[in-house]
Amino acid sequence: MKQKYYLLLFFSLTMFAAKAQIGGEFTYQFLELTNSARIAALGGSQSALSDSTDLNLPYHNPASLHQSMEKRVLVNYVNYLSDINYGYASYAKSFDNIGNFALGMHYINYGEFKEATEEGNLTGNNFKAAEYSFHIIYSNSYKRLKYGATLKPILSSFESYQSFGIAADLGVSFASKDKYTNVSLVGRNIGSQITTYYNSGEYEQIPFNLQAGITRRLKHAPINLALNMQYLNRWDLGNPEPGENDDENEFYPKEESFGKQIMRHMVLGVEILPSENFILRVGYNYQRRQELKFNDRAGLVGISGGFGVKIKRFHLDYAISQYHLAGTSNLFSLTINLNNTF
Q: Which domain holds residue 87?
A: 2-18+26-115+127-237+258-337
Give the count of domains, the chain.
Answer: 1
Task: Check if the beta carbon of residue 74 is closer than 8 Å to that of residue 55.
Answer: yes
Please report, for the domain that includes residue 54, its CATH number: 2.40.160.60
* Lowest model confidence (mean pLDDT) among 95-109, 165-179, 328-342: 328-342
Read off the pLDDT of each residue in 294-312 and give the average, rounded to a whole number.
84
Does residue 243 lie in a domain region?
no
Per-residue pLDDT, 279: 97
Does residue 149 lie in a domain region?
yes
pLDDT at 214 over 60: yes
Does residue 293 lie in a domain region?
yes
Does residue 6 lie in a domain region?
yes
Q: Supply the DSSP symbol for 205.
A: B
Does residue 246 lie in a domain region?
no
pLDDT at 330 over 60: yes
Question: Strand pairing of 303-311 and 314-324?
Answer: antiparallel
Residue 287, CA atoms < 13 Å, CB-side half-sphere = 20
User: Residue 73's CB: how many other CB atoms inside 10 A?
Assistant: 14
Does residue 230 lie in a domain region?
yes
Q: How far apart are CA 155 and CA 31, in angstroms?
A: 11
Per-residue pLDDT, 15: 38
Using DSSP's 3-state secondary structure scheme, residue 184 falls into strand
Per-residue pLDDT, 250: 52
Does residue 252 lie in a domain region?
no
Per-residue pLDDT, 285: 93
Span 7-28, pLDDT tens digits? 444 444 443 333 333 334 689 9
Read off the pLDDT of each residue in 137-162 and give the average, rounded to a whole number.
95
Span 242-288, pLDDT tens digits? 555 555 545 455 577 888 889 999 999 999 999 989 999 999 999 88
Does residue 245 lie in a domain region?
no
